[in-house]
A = this chain, B = another copy of it.
Amino acid sequence: MKTEDTRSDIMQAALDLIVEQGFHGAPVAEIAEKAGVAAGTIYRYFVSKDFLITELHRELEEKIVAVVQESYPSERPLRERFLYLIRELLRYFITNPLHFRYMEQYYNSPYGISLHRDRLLGKPGNQDILMDIFEQGIDQQVLKELPKAILFSLSFGSLISLMRDHILGFIVLDEALIKQTTEACWDAIKR
């Protein structure tokens, strides 16, 4: 497990353990052991366990946002852009299920409580992308005339639930299903 980058080792170990056992079930000592370092070493990289947890969330989010924004078809029609966003998110999480499960835990914990709305695509960048889509969609009378927050829930709420089920093995999201489900998300918000 011990690689060259101690900091990454620690974060990976924390990710694994927290996903598996929750924040409580991941004592610093165990994270350290899994990372192949001494407990004290963790404190050379993170001022506290809380900071490690927060940092882990921040970096994951960064990565996700970057992936989703990359090659975002900003010039294409609304529907296409919306489907792109949802599809890429699904793909990202299918590829990185631990990331999904970590984010879920984070938001449903005292840590994430202060984050409220900035969920998932909440980073200003994405938020804007998404809200732009909703705004334009309402303007163009393509989407239902509902508050944007509701449009968000209608589409992304489904996505999150789908991801959870996929990860838990209740369903297997292959490319065909991804296509169908993302379109179903669209159906929920389109006029």
Contacts and interface: CB of A to CB of B under 8 A. Distances in A.
Interface of A: 21-25, 104-105, 108-110, 116-117, 144, 146-147, 149-150, 152-162, 164-165, 168, 170-171, 177, 180-181, 184-185, 187-190
B22 A110 contact: yes
Q: How many copies does the complex hold?
A: 4
Contacts of A105: 108
Contacts of A116: 168, 170
A115 to B, nearest CB: 10
B177 A149 contact: no
A177 to B, nearest CB: 7
Contacts of A161: 152-154, 156-157, 160
Contacts of A165: 117, 149-150, 152-153
Given A168-B117, A187-B187, A110 B177 contact: no
A154 B185 contact: yes
A26 to B, nearest CB: 11
Contact of A153 (B25, B144, B158, B190): B158
A82 to B, nearest CB: 14
B157 A110 contact: no
A54 to B, nearest CB: 15
12 contacts: A23-B24, A25-B110, A146-B184, A149-B170, A150-B177, A150-B181, A152-B161, A152-B165, A153-B158, A153-B165, A157-B162, A184-B188
A154 B146 contact: no
Nearest to A144: B184
A104 B110 contact: no
A169 to B, nearest CB: 9
Contact of A110 (B24, B117, B159, B190): B24
A46 B152 CA distance: 41
A10 to B, nearest CB: 20
